[in-house]
């Protein structure tokens, strides 16, 4: 049967006019209804672990805006948590993982895979409640990006600790990558079994690696994840989002085997269109700051993205997550512009 989900159809290689649209981090702090529920539950991780609340947060932006995609409400750092690190989100400070692998060996962690069970329950709840035209996206972080947090124990400048370990002790670092990779394959497999239609791999720090390190720690693990998932779920598209990859994007697209590539806002869409494999679906790549600015510059920036990708399957999105001070009206302006274009 032909899919009646436009976003899923585009990820499978069809072109749709206007393009389907969703926004990275579309569930979150810019929404008053999100902030209210988070306050009620006591914090971000509490929200993630309460499946009914996480399902509600997943659906909030759909009710308000009618996006074509719903993205599971969770975080990429639930994998380190399941691998045995303690995870805390301190208000205003960002995530903290302990012990950090810069000074503790991976073997000293005791994995707790049951920590992921609430996420699968969230997927089931959302899948049962979703409009039939909406595509449900699962996600995970890519091994490289997740490793940067596991090694440093927090977000770090230029991912220096992980990059240093990758040079000094590639064996130990490779073992961390392998552990994340295997947990990620199982995690995404189970999200798909629970009801997501497609998955996205967030590689937020892909841009910090030199070319040979990029091959080893971004392309190769992504390729192995894609192969393993495709063997189990040949019809479930995989979006790769290797933020900051710039000129390495064509190699990423060719070598990893992902079904679609997410582009960040620093990529010239005309260049991407000319240099990525013909017919490969792309996702992106409006500057989140243009969305905050609004007005005529926002319309012009949207049109530039739409025009550049008019000849290939395209999912309209931001180049990175929506910022927390984004006014609701700007999202409405974006949707009106994207949907009347095409």
Ligand X SMILES: Cc1c2[nH]c(c1CCC(=O)O)Cc1[nH]c(c(CCC(=O)O)c1C)Cc1[nH]c(c(CCC(=O)O)c1C)Cc1[nH]c(c(C)c1CCC(=O)O)C2
Active site residues: 25, 29, 38, 75, 149
Residue list, annotated binding site for substrate:
25-29, 75, 149, 204, 320
64 makes contact with ligand X (CB under 6 A)? no
Interacting residue with ligand X among 12, 15, 16, 25 (CB under 6 A): 25
Report the distance separating Cα 199 and Cα 191, nearest Å: 9
Structure tokens at 108: 């000293």
Give the count of residues interacting with ligand X (CB under 6 A): 22
15 makes contact with ligand X (CB under 6 A)? no
217 makes contact with ligand X (CB under 6 A)? no
Q: What are phi and psi of 86, to 5 degrees?
A: -75, 145
Report the distance separating Cα 263 and Cα 106, nearest Å: 32
Map residues 112-151 to x or -, x wherever contact with ligand X holds by CB under 6 A: ---------------------------x-x----------
Residue list, annotated binding site:
25-29, 75, 149, 204, 320
Interacting residue with ligand X among 62, 71, 79, 276 (CB under 6 A): 71
Structure tokens at 83: 């691998």
Half-sphere exposure of 151 (CA within 13 A, CB side): 26
Report the distance separating Cα 283 and Cα 45, nearest Å: 28
Closer to ligand X by CB, 130 or 308: give it: 130
Which residues in 145-184 contact ligand X (CB under 6 A)? 155
Closer to ligand X by CB, 197 or 312: give it: 197
List, edge to edge, every strand of the sheet that includes 314-318: 69-71, 135-141, 198-203, 238-242, 260-262, 282-286, 314-318
Residue nearest to ligand X (CB): 204
Q: What are phi and psi of 28, to 5 degrees?
A: 165, -160
Give the CA distances from residue 36 to residues 64, 68, 128, 153, in Å, rounded to whole numbers and listed in that order.
15, 24, 24, 29
Q: Which stretch binds ligand X (CB under 6 A): 70-78, 117-125, 191-199, 272-280?
A: 70-78
22 makes contact with ligand X (CB under 6 A)? no
Residues that bind ligand X (CB under 6 A): 24-29, 38, 44, 71, 73, 75-77, 89, 94-95, 139, 141, 155, 202, 204, 321
């Amino acid at each position: 049967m032909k899919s009646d989900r436009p976003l899923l159809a585009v990820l499978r290689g069809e072109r749709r006019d206007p393009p389907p649209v969703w926004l990275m981090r579309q569930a979150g702090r810019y929404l008053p209804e999100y902030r209210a529920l988070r306050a009620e539950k006591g914090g971000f991780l509490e929200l993630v672990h309460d499946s009914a609340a996480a399902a509600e947060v997943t659906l909030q932006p759909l009710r308000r805006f009618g996006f074509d995609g719903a993205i599971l409400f969770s975080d990429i750092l639930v994998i380190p948590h399941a691998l045995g690190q303690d995870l805390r989100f301190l208000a205003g400070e960002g995530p903290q993982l302990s012990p950090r692998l810069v000074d503790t060996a991976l073997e000293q962690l005791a994995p707790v895979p049951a920590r992921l069970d609430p996420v699968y329950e969230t997927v089931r709840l959302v899948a049962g409640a979703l409009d039939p035209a909406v595509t449900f996206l699962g996600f995970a972080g890519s091994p490289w990006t997740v490793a940067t947090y596991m090694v440093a124990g927090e977000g770090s400048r230029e991912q220096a600790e992980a990059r240093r370990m990758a040079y000094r002790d590639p064996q130990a670092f490779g073992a961390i990558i392998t552990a994340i990779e295997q947990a990620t394959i199982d995690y995404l497999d189970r999200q798909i079994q629970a009801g997501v239609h497609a998955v996205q791999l967030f590689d937020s720090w892909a841009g910090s690696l030199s070319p040979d390190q990029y091959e080893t720690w971004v392309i190769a693990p992504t390729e192995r994840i894609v192969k393993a998932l495709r063997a189990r779920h040949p019809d479930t598209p995989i979006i790769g989002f290797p933020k900051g990859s710039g000129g390495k994007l064509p190699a990423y697209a060719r070598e990893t085997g992902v079904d679609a590539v997410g582009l960040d806002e620093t990529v010239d869409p005309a260049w991407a269109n000319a240099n990525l494999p013909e017919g490969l679906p792309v996702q992106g790549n409006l500057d989140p700051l243009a969305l905050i600015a609004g007005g005529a510059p926002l319309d012009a920036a949207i049109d530039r993205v739409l025009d550049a990708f008019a000849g290939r399957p395209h999912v309209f999105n931001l180049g990175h997550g929506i910022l927390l001070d984004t006014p609701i009206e700007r999202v409405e302006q974006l949707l009106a512009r994207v949907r009347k274009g095409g």
